[in-house]
Amino acid sequence: MAGKSQVCKIARLQSLFYRDCKMSNEGLINIHSVIPFSKINGPGNRMVIFFQGCNKRCPGCFNPNTHHFETVNLYSPEAIFKKHPVNGIDGITVSGGEPFLQHDGLLKLLKAAKEMYGLSTIVYTGLTYNELEERPDYLSCLSFIDALVDGRYEESKKEKTLLARGSTNQRFYFFSSRYTEADFYMAGKIEFIIGKNGIVTKTGFSNIGIRIN
Ligand code: SF4
């Protein structure tokens, strides 16, 4: 019979499993939005892909519109790269929302980015690395990730330097030699992007009125 801590662990895994089932979209990814070109979400020129859906509800989260689990945009990785060509892009940054809740789609996206386009890959997750280790199906993504930034946003530990993370509890993990932590010091904390339609999008690592379109 499971002890109290085991019961808690089982309940947490069941909850994650239920959420994964709900997030299954038969190979397609529920995407909140894509910023085709950013210089502030990791080293170099990056396409930033925001997954839809997160159950953490961190107070002060920069992207609260990514929390709900309704379908926003269903894309295959191929469709994302067709809509947003990778010319001039060094890599993709995957954020959210919680990317690992759609781990099948995440894996396909990371593989496509690396194998089809030679892009680098960075993933921001609200899970800690220790939590990822409990899930072999999540761990399979790590072989296609150059850098992982883990942990939920903690407002009391807000990052005050230009290091590309929301709060100081979040840690960097490097699974290739492509980047080091020094590469994650950005030129600023916020970036404004003017789209072809004239809509201004704000992105970065400050939650002052961030809007993602
Ligand atoms: S884990 Fe990330 S996306 Fe989810 S609520 Fe926390 S900061 Fe927001």
β-pairing, 190-194 vs 200-204, is: antiparallel
**Residue 69 CA, ligand 1 centroid: distance in Å:** 13
**Residue 125 CA, ligand 1 centroid: distance in Å:** 8
Q: Of the candidates 96, 92, 114, 131, which has an alpha carbon nearest to the alpha carbon of residue 23?
A: 96
- CA-angle at 143, arms to 173 and 181, nearest 5°: 20
Is residue 101 within 8 Å of 19, Cβ to Cβ?
yes
Rg over CA atoms, the chain: 17
Please tell me the residue having the least CA distance from ligand 1 atom 2.
Answer: 126
Please tell me the residue having the least CA distance from ligand 1 atom 1.
Answer: 126
| Test site for ligand 1: of 50, 153, 168, most ligand atoms within 8 A of the Cβ | 153
Give just the sign of the alpha carbon dihedral 58, 70, 142, 212: negative
Render pLDDT for 40-51 as a digit per residue (tens, 0 to 9): 999 999 999 999
**Whole-structure pTM over 0.95, yes or no?**
no
Which pLDDT score, from 0 to 100, does residue 198 have?
Answer: 72
Which pLDDT score, from 0 to 100, does residue 187 have?
Answer: 86
Render pLDDT for 11-67 as a digit per residue (tens, 0 to 9): 454 444 445 544 557 779 999 999 999 999 999 999 999 999 999 999 999 999 999
Cβ of 138 closer than 6 Å to ligand 1, yes or no, is: no
Cβ burial, residue 5 (10 Å; 0-12/13-18/19+): exposed
Whether the pLDDT of residue 10 is over 90: the answer is no
Cβ of 96 closer than 6 Å to ligand 1, yes or no, is: yes
Closest ligand 1 atom to the C-alpha of 96?
Answer: 3
Q: Work out the pLDDT band at 212, boundaries 50, 70, 90.
A: very low
Mean local confidence (pLDDT), 77-82: 97
Q: Of the candidates 103, 28, 65, 53, which has an alpha carbon nearest to the alpha carbon of residue 203?
A: 65
Whether the pLDDT of residue 135 is over 60: the answer is yes
Whether the pLDDT of residue 213 is over 60: the answer is no
Domains of the chain as residue ranges with CATH: 4-204 (3.20.20)
Please tell me the residue having the least CA distance from ligand 1 atom 6.
Answer: 58
Output DSSP code: residue 196: T
